[in-house]
Amino acid sequence: MCGIAGVVYKDGKLHNVGADMTRMLHALQHRGPDSAGFSIYGGLGLEENEYLLNIEVKEKKGLLERVKETVETVSPIRKDEVIPSVENYIIYRCRITLESFSQLKPLIMEIDRIEDVIVLNGSHSFEMIKDVGSVLEIADRYDTWSKKGTHAIGHTRFSTESIVDRYHAHPFQSYIIPDITVVHNGQITNYWKIREPLERKGHIFETNNDTECIVHYVADKLASGYSLEEALEQSVKDMDGPFSYIVGTPTGVGIAKDQLGLRPGVMAENDEVFAVASEEVSLREVMDTTEVEQISPGEVRVYEI
């Protein structure tokens, strides 16, 4: 199953998009009880070359201090906080400054080498929140209700492959280009055919989840000069299986649906909002849905601010 949703405020200004996405995902909770996640764009307000790291750290004596020491070999920590979580883990969030985006992935890999530690994400223009549990549990844990932004994507997960934990929850991110994320409903049945050429080009895969394959694919196309719409159109031709997925970028969202139309996707918009989701019930949380369009088999829709 799984449920996916995306919303964009057309004026490009900050709105209560965290609360909007929380309600949209809660309306899709029946599609996925295992975990949920958000990519909320535009509200972090970071300075140039400043990044936010979200790091899962086991509650073990001295471990958090070791993480901080590793981060500070690259950048002084400008601001940090600890969020209590579940299963004897905490989420450590810190802001750092890097000379260039190219330093981000090597730092993340260095932190990941520490036992019982894993970096959930690193970003500049969006905040990623994802965890195990229901949408409302996660919303209360991370206060998604108060998060402001210009647009967002989100996911409720029903696991059909890979384990259920924070790291395998959606959204997935690629570090080929800054701040691209994906949420996905379905399966990519020619997964290895898509993945192997990307690995030969130097893409580093950290899971066997096919959603990670999608985000690497789209990021690779964007890095090669494709527009977002062109990248999604090509993905529909190259990828097999039942799928619909939503991409988030710093400038907007896009949705793509498999050529047989085997996974749902609907869209609605008005003068203020563009929204997409697995089901109409989710769209009703952000607008009047008197005019809802079904995303057709093989169709791509993109809205950029």
**Among all residues, which ones are annotated catalytic?**
2
- Find out whether 59 and 96 touch, Cβ atoms under 8 Å: no
Does an H or E element contain 230, and which? Answer: helix 228-238
- Read off the amino acid at residue 109: M
Contacts with 96 (C-beta within 8 Å, 6 or more apart), sequence order: 50, 51, 53, 71, 74, 75, 76, 77, 78
3-class DSSP state of 208: coil
Strand partners, 273: 9
Report the distance separating Cα 229 and Cα 233, nearest Å.
Answer: 6
Separation CA 224–CA 217 (nearest Å): 11
Enumerate the β-bridge partners of residue 41.
126, 151
